[in-house]
Amino acid sequence: MARSKVSKKLMRRSRFRRRITFLAILFVVIALLTVVIFRHRISPTFVKDRPVAVIDAGHGAFTSLGVIDVGTSHYGLNEADIVLDIALRTQKHLESRGWVAVTTRDGDWTPFNLAQRSTFAGALKADVFISLHLNSHTSRRAHGLIVFYWRPEDKSLAELLQKRLSERLSLRDRGTNTAPFSVLVWSPVPAVLIELGFLSNRREAMRLSNPQFREKAAIAIAEVLCEWYSKTQRQRK
């Protein structure tokens, strides 16, 4: 009788210990899960220490026909290839100037559709989004540079790029323009679309096919973005 009382007591104790252990483990698991889930909310406010740019090399997505969109093509040159090269060079020059620069593609193909390219810039809290393209016209004589913007507050950035790039690259200044391009309309951050010359114009196509010109264009874009960014920072102070 006494033995069974002792064994019952021991059983109750071990059950009690098991419950305590179970509750302790449960508490630790809940605490860890809380930290994992809410870590980004309880961390101090996120401070960016470097400006961020998203450079969109135009085209490169699959068309409804299931082929990759290469943009306009003239003289054996594809717009998509040329703007990709300029985008990657611009990325390098921005990074060397202290920026975080991200491109929407680093090869022929991108998974981003047009709207996703600029919303991606929003997700990255980018300071600027630039989309690179080349123009085309039925008249092969048409030539020069156009920078497009959509939101009125992006006009000054477009005008600065238009002025500096046309001067530095000796491209005809066709003036800035507004157009409801998807990449501009959907962008939650300052956004411009640069038509860096006409691929349909023989002279400009030959220039764009030259890596030295593309390098010069990339350096010019990076430097104008630096100029614009430091100006916007000064205005905020």
Q: Which is nearer to Zn ion, 58 or 197 (CB)?
A: 58
Q: How many CA atoms lie within 13 A of 1 on its CB side?
A: 0
- 8: its two tokens: 């019952």
Q: Which stretch binds Zn ion (CB under 5 A): 21-29, 41-49, 56-64, 156-164?
A: 56-64
Transcribe 182-208 into DSSP letters. Answer: HHHHT-SS-EEEEEEEETTSHHHHHHH
Residue of minimal Cβ distance to Zn ion: 133
Closest contact distance (angstroms) between CB of 43 and Zn ion is 40
Footprint on residues 174-233 left by Zn ion (CB under 5 A): none
Closest contact distance (angstroms) between CB of 131 and Zn ion is 8
> How far is it, in rounded angstroms, from Cα 67 to Cα 74?
18
Residue 133 binds Zn ion (CB under 5 A):
yes
Q: Which residue has the tokens 């450079």?
A: 55
> How far is it, in rounded angstroms, from Cα 179 to Cα 185?
9
Can you tell me which of 51, 58, 190, 197 binds Zn ion, judged by CB under 5 A? Answer: 58
Residue 71 binds Zn ion (CB under 5 A):
yes
> How far is it, in rounded angstroms, from Cα 102 to Cα 80?
17
Residue 105 binds Zn ion (CB under 5 A):
no
> How far is it, in rounded angstroms, from Cα 232 to Cα 125?
16
> How far is it, in rounded angstroms, from Cα 136 to Cα 154?
24
Closest contact distance (angstroms) between CB of 84 and Zn ion is 12
Q: Which is nearer to Zn ion, 52 or 135 (CB)?
A: 135
Q: Which stretch binds Zn ion (CB under 5 A): 10-18, 67-75, 87-95, 209-217?
A: 67-75
Closest contact distance (angstroms) between CB of 214 and Zn ion is 16
Give the footprint of Zn ion on this chain (CB under 5 A). Answer: 58, 71, 133
